[in-house]
Structure 1
Amino acid sequence: MATKILSNKSNLQVLYEDNHIIIVNKRAGDIVQGDKTGDKPLSDVVKEYIKDKYNKPGNVYLGVVHRLDRPTTGLVIFAKTSKALPRLNKLFLSKDIKKTYWALVKNQPPKPEDTLINWLKKNPKNNKSTTHTKEVKDSKKAILHYKLLKKLDRYYLLEINLETGRHHQIRSQLSHIGCPIKGDLKYGFDRSNKDASIHLHARYIEFIHPVKKEPVKVSAPLPKDAIWDACLA
């Protein structure tokens, strides 16, 4: 699944765009929506791109449909119209959007492929989720499917499909089976990446367009570094 890069400015890589939807490849460190840090969010960068490209006067409409963790890279969908936003939200709620992630982990997983079913409990104080094998108070059921794609010299490339979308779900569940993601100090990796990223990438997305009713399939190019490059060698 190859995707043509429509725009590749220094701070924005557009992978898909039509009248209703825009899909971009998020960089590590970008925040999707504004938060208490006050840092410029990706949503504002996309608004500026639309404003400049189409010479739009006044405010630009842009709906945030979902988010990726700040150190994570890959596909993010935004709605360009008020018609598309509730329809995209509905697709996410009904799990009719298939999202596939790639992760580089420290240790070989117990099985070459498996389904992980756990209960995650979020701690807002440290912005971390703990994984439990049984339901505990205030926990939410979390299900993911992983498959080992490749063994590198020091890391293992996993492909992950989410059945639920919980806070830090992939990071917490993989750490729970002894496979922390490269660079993810919060979930047990022993050292950080230089750019504060983690090697978790939203690689593919697939859904039926909520307005056009046509299939949309998009893939996000991997970040440029030697270890990601080795995954494609």
Structure 2
Amino acid sequence: MSKRKNTTRTNPDIHVIYEDNHLLVIDKPAGVLSQEDHTGDPDVLTLCKSYLKKKYNKPGNVFLGLVHRLDRPVSGLMVLARTSKAAARLSEQVRKHAMDKTYWAMAEGMTPMEKTLVHYLEKDKNSNNVSAYKSKRGRAKEAKLSFKTIKQSAHYSLVEVDLITGRPHQIRVQFAKEGFPLWGDYRYGEPGKKGKDLGLRAVKLAFDHPTTQKRMFFEVDPPNLQPWNFFDY
């Protein structure tokens, strides 16, 4: 299910990967918020509500549930719920770790071929920065992921990451803590150097359909842009 059927025709435009009466699966562009915040910048939820309202000529407010988020600089697959029942059932899958999310990350340095990372993460609400620790401390929560290295060059490693927990900034912080900051990560890797998109993309998503219970699988390709065009796939 990797074909892009249409777009939201919004600004910015968003590719719609799959749509039915219960679900909307999209390819979120890098730099777009998942949900409205204090900045007033465009966000996925508002743009997709506008798309559905226009497409189906719906009067009044359109329901669309945010089941999970991607950080603003992260691109890739997201599923949104078009009914409250779907939202509740998909959210339950997230809580029970039954929704599988796979990412590609472009990391600096030579990563191990395979590894599981376990850290304890604590978020500073004032700065929105997350700190990683090797052992439990204070209010820090356990964060766990596994990865395998797909390709490597002299300076970069392309890794496929399976999230086991879902913490804020988790992949970015854990890789930076291990000494492999992600391409273009100015918050945790390259402070002060602007102009690069973050090398992190949600490329695979799997979950049970909220009404049919059928397992749904989605996959998107990386764009032909830096850093994804460093390697031939």
TM-score, length of structure 1 as denominator length: 0.93
Q: Please, which runs of 5 or more residues in structure 1 have no aligned partner? A: none
Q: Please, which runs of 5 or more residues in structure 2 have no aligned partner? A: none
- On the 8 A contact 2:147/2:161 being kept in 1, the answer is yes
Shift of 1:226: 4.2
Letter in 1 for 2:227: I
Shift of 1:126: 1.5
Who is 2:217 aligned against? 217
Letter in 2 for 1:19: N
Structure-1 separation of matches of 2:194 and 2:76: 17
Q: RMSD over aligned Cα, in angstroms?
A: 1.6
Structure-2 separation of matches of 1:87 and 1:155: 39
Shift of 1:83: 1.3
Who is 1:204 aligned against? 204
Structure-2 separation of matches of 1:113 and 1:27: 28
Percent identity between the two aligned chains: 37
| 1:23-64 CA distance string (max 9 Å, x none) | 111111100111011112111110111112212222111011
- On the 8 A contact 1:183/1:190 being kept in 2, the answer is no
Residues 1:4 and 2:3 are matched in the alignment? yes
Q: Which portions of structure 1, spanning 4 or more consecutive aligned residues, are displaced by more than 6 angstroms?
A: none
- On the 8 A contact 1:183/1:191 being kept in 2, the answer is no
Letter in 2 for 1:138: R
Shift of 1:6: 1.3
Structure-2 separation of matches of 1:80 and 1:124: 30
Structure-2 separation of matches of 1:230 and 1:75: 21
Letter in 2 for 1:60: V
- On the 8 A contact 2:23/2:80 being kept in 1, the answer is yes
- In structure 2, the CA distance between the partners of 1:56 and 1:232, relative to structure 1 (3 Å rule), is farther
Who is 2:63 aligned against? 61
Who is 1:140 aligned against? 141
Range 219-228 or range 134-143, more displaced: 219-228
- Please list, as runs of the form range in 1=range in 2, the aligned pairs for 1:1-233 lying within 5 A after superposition: 3-8=2-7, 9=9, 11-109=13-111, 111-152=112-153, 154-189=155-190, 192=193, 194=195, 197-233=197-233
Structure-1 separation of matches of 2:99 and 2:190: 30
Shift of 1:148: 0.4
